[in-house]
Structure 1
């Protein structure tokens, strides 16, 4: 993994393996695509982000786990109030485990070590309040995951130049015609 990449940026990259964007920009239509369509694709993604365990061989069940985790994380971003049953992430428990020295750390056990790293990152971010900085773009035709690094933490768009501008232009046009 590129060590200059923030941990929430890595989670956003995982979430964006499902690209739900369906809009036209500069005359080019963007269509939705899923990058995790096979065990090989998951293996490649984990390797590209230094999350693959040396010598580990992934199986179709691991791909299913990855897709369920991605879906659960996206659902958690859309509905931040999980309710008493834990919401979409209830199937992905995290436990306290002995850490370095005499400390404790959060530990996930998805069965796929690279996914454990992602889930532990999410749990740590939730515990420290940083999870609120990971968002899905407010544009319904986009839903690109992004790490909001704005000072106020009130970012709504993955890109102000694209989605934010499109939204503001549409609002302006609605006001002008009303």
Structure 2
């Protein structure tokens, strides 16, 4: 799994898609509905779960970070990612290879990995490659791998095509 793929997976634990495709309507939902569901997501994504049993506060902190990161993607990502990470102090520490690394110490190891990944991505300048689909009935998070970094849709074949078809129809109705 790539570094940004973890963030993409995290952001997509909430599904806001409501459009229909091939007669099937997406039903919006949230994977993180309980501490047990959070534990399952942590395990599936090979993140450190921590020493103690997860509780409602752990779930609330995780959902709060996810919501803040998704909001940052709707505005100016370079400025807003700082606000999204504001509740998660970061430090620069030595890493085992002899260099330095960005480290978070929230007491929630899985959140530390996510915060460190986002902060490292922002420091490298590739945070702007994580986007939410421009389709208002989608908002699926995706890693924009286009050459110029101007991708707008999670899938051109789905959301991009729906947008272009809608625009074409509107143009030809008048």
* 1:61 equivalent in alignment to 2:57: yes
Give me the TM-score of the superposition, normalised by structure 1. Answer: 0.90
* 1:82 equivalent in alignment to 2:63: no
Match of 1:118 in 2: 114
Give me the TM-score of the superposition, normalised by structure 2. Answer: 0.92
Match of 1:105 in 2: 101
For residues 26 and 127 of structure 1, the distance between their equivalents in structure 2, rounded to whole angstroms, comes to 41
Q: Return the offset for 1:55.
A: 4.8
* 1:143 equivalent in alignment to 2:145: no
**RMSD in angstroms over aligned alpha carbons?**
1.7
For residues 136 and 58 of structure 1, the distance between their equivalents in structure 2, rounded to whole angstroms, comes to 29
Secondary structure (helix, strand or coil) at the match of 1:11 reads helix
Count of residue correspondences: 173
CA deviation profile, 1:104-150 (whole Å, cap 9, x unmatched): 21011232101111110110000001101110000010000001112
4+ runs of 1 displaced by more than 3 Å?
53-56
For residues 11 and 30 of structure 2, the distance between their equivalents in structure 1, rounded to whole angstroms, comes to 10
Match of 2:167 in 1: 171
For residues 104 and 153 of structure 2, the distance between their equivalents in structure 1, rounded to whole angstroms, comes to 30
For residues 129 and 152 of structure 1, the distance between their equivalents in structure 2, rounded to whole angstroms, comes to 14
Contact 2:50 2:108 in 1 (8 A): no
Which sections of structure 1, spanning at least 5 residues, go unmatched? none
Which sections of structure 2, spanning at least 5 residues, go unmatched? none
Secondary structure (helix, strand or coil) at the match of 1:91 reads coil
Match of 1:132 in 2: 128
After superposition, the Cα gap between the structure-2 partners of 1:28 and 1:101, relative to the gap in structure 1 and judged at 3 Å, is: closer
Pairing partner for 1:19 from 11, 15, 21 = 15
Contact 2:72 2:84 in 1 (8 A): yes
